[in-house]
């Protein structure tokens, strides 16, 4: 048998699947939501023992399409294709990978743009507020639907890391290991502030219409500005210096007007305009608010108490030196609380100057870290069988 550890490839052409849960779910706010549609993709093959399942959970603007392509002519593969596939960090020759789209999103799972069964119209602001806990509870329904009793690991970056942590805290018996990457147990005031600026940009757009813009002109300018603000937080000072510096875009001298002149301005404008073509403004409001609400210390009294029931779940925590949105000190606080509970925890701080988005970029170091950790966890499982 060939050694796929040295050969990496794509999962190939994939399709997005859908499931509907008709039973209403009570949310943490006390509101109820149902029926609930969930879009998801799977890669690899579930083992006969069903012991090789990995749940990939996405960040704010992600979706179920984590790897491969939907069509051979697609210009880009899934959002974590660099890490998921044969021989990659999450090796689909070994593991069965599941990636759902979060509720409140706009990529196939129930969210503000979905049809409200009570009115026959899009929910808009009638969509109930959801939390990271609610998102995870829906994911649990999906895992149950797939007939999987225990997940080998739950992993994701940024908000995905929050979900991985929540899985381990809420369902420790269902999670063999958790890998939060570039994440935190609660947002800093600075991160909440940036989220609020983005929300206010959307709500200040005249086309927002209190969330009732479906079938009309969308709040494109507000959503574009929100994305521009958010994207700045995903980068780092070093990466912006290297990629753009103070270079001018398509000109040799200042224009002395307010049109975009610097390369960084043109880049952010491009990011904003690209975002409005693929994301819903109301979803941006709801998901950023869910991130703001996530706070294990507030919910449990302390991080140590939050992890008190997670004794049998192994943790791999990864942070990046240049991440100033979810800085490494937050990961270290998590590791300290895990260690205080005697939980098997491994921590890596990777030196990269790409900022928060480093977890999405090709990194040989992260690939090796994930691959070796998963090999170790899966090896222990197989030895016990």
Do 93 and 182 reside in the same domain of the chain? yes
pLDDT at 302 over 90: yes
Tokens at 307, concatenated: 């992890």
In a domain, 9, yes or no: yes
Q: What is the DSSP letter of 244?
A: T
Tell me which of 262, 287, 312 is where a domain ends. Answer: 287
231 belongs to the catalytic site? no
Do 128 and 182 reside in the same domain of the chain? yes
Banded model confidence at residue 384, pLDDT cuts 50, 70, 90: confident
Here the CATH number for the domain that contains residue 261 is 1.10.1740.110
Do 73 and 202 reside in the same domain of the chain? no
Tokens at 382, concatenated: 């197989």
For residue range 20-29, list pLDDT tens digits in order. Answer: 999 999 999 9
Do 77 and 148 reside in the same domain of the chain? yes
Give the residue ranges of DSSP H helices in 235-327.
237-243, 263-276, 281-293, 296-300, 303-306
Q: What is the DSSP letter of 180?
A: E
Do 14 and 103 reside in the same domain of the chain? yes
For residue range 52-89, list pLDDT tens digits in order. Answer: 999 999 999 999 999 999 999 999 999 999 999 999 99
pLDDT at residue 2, rounded to an integer = 31
pLDDT at residue 311, rounded to an integer = 84
CA distance 211 to 198: 15
Report, as an integer, the average pLDDT of 317-331: 98
Q: Angle, nearest 10°, between helix axes 189-204 and 281-293?
A: 160
Banded model confidence at residue 7, pLDDT cuts 50, 70, 90: low
In a domain, 12, yes or no: yes
Banded model confidence at residue 3, pLDDT cuts 50, 70, 90: very low
Identify the CA nearest to 131 among candidates 297, 300, 293, 299.
293
For residue range 166-184, list pLDDT tens digits in order. Answer: 999 999 999 999 999 999 9
For residue range 103-117, list pLDDT tens digits in order. Answer: 999 999 999 999 999
In a domain, 331, yes or no: yes
Do 17 and 142 reside in the same domain of the chain? yes
Phi and psi (nearest 5°) for 135? -60, -45
In a domain, 304, yes or no: yes
CA distance 18 to 333: 38
Task: Supply the Cα-derived Rg of the chain in whole angstroms.
Answer: 21
In a domain, 292, yes or no: no
pLDDT at 383 over 90: no
For residue range 201-253, list pLDDT tens digits in order. Answer: 999 999 999 999 999 999 999 999 999 999 999 999 999 999 999 999 999 99
pLDDT at 4 over 70: no
The count of structural domains within the chain is 2
Q: Please report the sign of the dihedral spanned by the C-alpha atoms of residue 113, residue 119, residue 121, residue 125.
A: negative
Average pLDDT over the chain reads 96
Identify the CA nearest to 163 among candidates 184, 187, 142, 143.
184
The one catalytic residue in 51, 323, 331, 357 is: 323
Do 327 and 277 reside in the same domain of the chain? no
Identify the CA nearest to 291 among candidates 126, 113, 93, 60.
60
Identify the CA nearest to 60 among candidates 373, 289, 339.
289
Banded model confidence at residue 1, pLDDT cuts 50, 70, 90: very low
CA distance 208 to 199: 11
Do 120 and 248 reside in the same domain of the chain? no
pLDDT at residue 362, rounded to an integer = 81
Tokens at 373, concatenated: 């950790």
Q: Given 3-state DSSP classes, what are the helix, strand and coil percentages for the chain, each rounded to the nearest 5?
A: 40, 15, 45
pLDDT at 320 over 70: yes
In a domain, 241, yes or no: yes
Percentage above 90 pLDDT, the chain: 95
Here the CATH number for the domain that contains residue 369 is 3.40.50.1820
CA separation (Å) from 268 to 68, 104, 190, 261?
27, 25, 20, 12
The one catalytic residue in 177, 183, 356, 357 is: 356
Domain limits for position 269: 192-287
Strands 32-33 and 25-26: antiparallel
Identify the CA nearest to 160 among candidates 182, 192, 128, 137.
182
Banded model confidence at residue 363, pLDDT cuts 50, 70, 90: confident
CA–chain centroid gap for 21, Å, is 22
65 belongs to the catalytic site? no
Do 157 and 75 reside in the same domain of the chain? yes
Do 112 and 224 reside in the same domain of the chain? no
Does residue 97 contact residue 84 with C-beta atoms inside 8 Å?
A: yes
CA distance 264 to 249: 8
Do 258 and 126 reside in the same domain of the chain? no
Tell me which of 287, 307, 339 is where a domain ends. Answer: 287
pLDDT at residue 85, rounded to an integer = 97
In a domain, 50, yes or no: yes
The one catalytic residue in 61, 109, 158, 236 is: 158
In a domain, 203, yes or no: yes
For residue range 281-297, list pLDDT tens digits in order. Answer: 999 999 999 999 999 99
pTM here is 0.95
Angle (CA) 340-346-350 rounded to 5° is 125
Do 247 and 320 reside in the same domain of the chain? no
For residue range 123-153, list pLDDT tens digits in order. Answer: 999 999 999 999 999 999 999 999 999 999 9
356 belongs to the catalytic site? yes
Tell me which of 243, 269, 287 is where a domain ends. Answer: 287
pLDDT at residue 8, rounded to an integer = 75
């Amino acid at each position: 048998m060939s050694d796929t550890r040295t050969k990496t490839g794509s999962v190939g052409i994939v399709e997005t699947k859908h499931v509907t849960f008709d039973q209403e779910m009570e949310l943490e706010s006390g509101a109820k939501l149902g029926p609930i549609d969930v879009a998801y993709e799977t890669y690899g093959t579930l083992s006969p023992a069903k012991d090789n399942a990995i749940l990939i959970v996405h960040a704010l603007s992600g979706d179920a399409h984590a790897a491969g392509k939907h069509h051979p002519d697609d210009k880009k593969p899934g959002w974590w294709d660099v890490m998921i596939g044969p021989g990659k960090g999450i090796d689909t020759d070994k593991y069965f990978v599941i990636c759902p789209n979060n509720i409140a999103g706009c990529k196939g799972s129930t969210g503000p743009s979905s049809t409200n069964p009570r009115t026959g119209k899009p929910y808009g602001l009638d969509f109930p507020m959801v939390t990271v806990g609610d998102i995870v509870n829906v994911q649990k329904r999906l895992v149950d639907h797939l007939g999987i009793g225990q997940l080998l690991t739950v992993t994701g970056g940024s908000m995905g890391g929050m979900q991985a942590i929540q899985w381990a805290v809420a369902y420790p018996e269902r999670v063999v290991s958790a890998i939060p990457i570039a994440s935190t147990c609660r947002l800093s005031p600075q991160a909440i502030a940036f989220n609020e600026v983005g929300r206010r940009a959307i709500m200040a757009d005249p086309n927002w219409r209190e969330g009732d813009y479906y079938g009309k002109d969308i709040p494109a300018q507000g959503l574009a500005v929100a994305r521009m603000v958010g994207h700045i937080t995903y980068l780092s000072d070093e990466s912006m210096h290297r990629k753009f510096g103070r270079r001018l875009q398509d000109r040799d001298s200042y224009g002395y007007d307010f049109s975009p002149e610097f390369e960084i301005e043109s880049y952010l404008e491009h990011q904003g305009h690209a975002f409005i073509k693929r994301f819903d403004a109301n979803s941006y409001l709801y998901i950023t608010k869910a991130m703001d609400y996530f706070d294990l210390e507030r919910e449990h009294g302390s991080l140590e108490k939050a992890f008190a029931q997670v004794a049998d779940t192994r943790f791999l925590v990864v942070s990046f030196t240049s991440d100033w949105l979810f800085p490494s000190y937050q990961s270290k606080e998590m590791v300290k609380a895990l260690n205080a509970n005697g939980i098997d925890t491994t921590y890596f701080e990777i030196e990269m100057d790409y900022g928060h988005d480093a977890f999405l970029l090709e990194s040989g170091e992260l690939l090796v870290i994930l691959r070796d950790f998963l090999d170790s966890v899966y090896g222990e499982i197989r030895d016990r069988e």
